[in-house]
């Protein structure tokens, strides 16, 4: 859209903006616009990082659930080793 505007039209638009808002308010408006853009950017980064962390946590959880768990009574004592069933697995058997 800006590519279709000639330099004279851009100057006219800037002059109208200056008349509407006044020279004193323009720096404050630009500053607040910059702050808003920085906040938006940081929030977008935080949301992206949070979704990546959740995906990693889900992968870790699924890997942990598929691995069988074993409890040993004493180091090196293989005779008392036994598999452990999870509470939600026992509920399905009853």
Instruction: With respect to residue 33, please indicate whether it lies within any of the assigned structural domains.
Output: yes
Structure confidence at residue 94 (pLDDT): 46
- Helices 7-21 and 25-66: crossing angle in degrees, nearest 10, is 100
**Res 32: pLDDT:** 92
Question: In this structure, is residue 86 part of a structural domain?
Answer: no
Range of the domain at 47: 23-52
pTM: 0.42
What is the pLDDT at residue 43?
93
Domain annotation covers residue 40: yes
Helix (H) / strand (E) containing 82:
strand 82-83
User: Total structural domains in the chain?
Assistant: 1
Within 10 A of 68 (CB to CB), how many other CB atoms are there?
7
Give, for all 94 residues of the chain, the pLDDT tens digit.
Answer: 556 888 899 999 988 988 888 878 888 888 999 999 999 999 999 999 998 888 887 777 666 565 556 665 666 666 655 555 666 655 445 4
Residue 18 lies inside a defined structural domain of this protein = no
28 Rama class: left (phi>0) / alpha (psi -120 to 50) / beta: alpha
């Amino acid at each position: 859209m800006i590519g279709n505007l000639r330099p004279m039209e851009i100057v006219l638009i800037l002059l109208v903006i200056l008349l509407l808002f006044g020279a004193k308010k323009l720096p404050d408006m630009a500053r607040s616009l910059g702050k808003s853009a920085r906040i938006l950017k940081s929030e977008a980064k935080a949301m992206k990082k949070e979704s990546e962390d959740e995906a990693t946590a889900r992968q870790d959880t699924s890997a942990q659930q598929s691995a069988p768990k074993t409890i040993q009574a004493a180091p090196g004592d293989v005779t008392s080793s036994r598999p452990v069933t999870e509470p939600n697995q026992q509920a399905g058997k009853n």
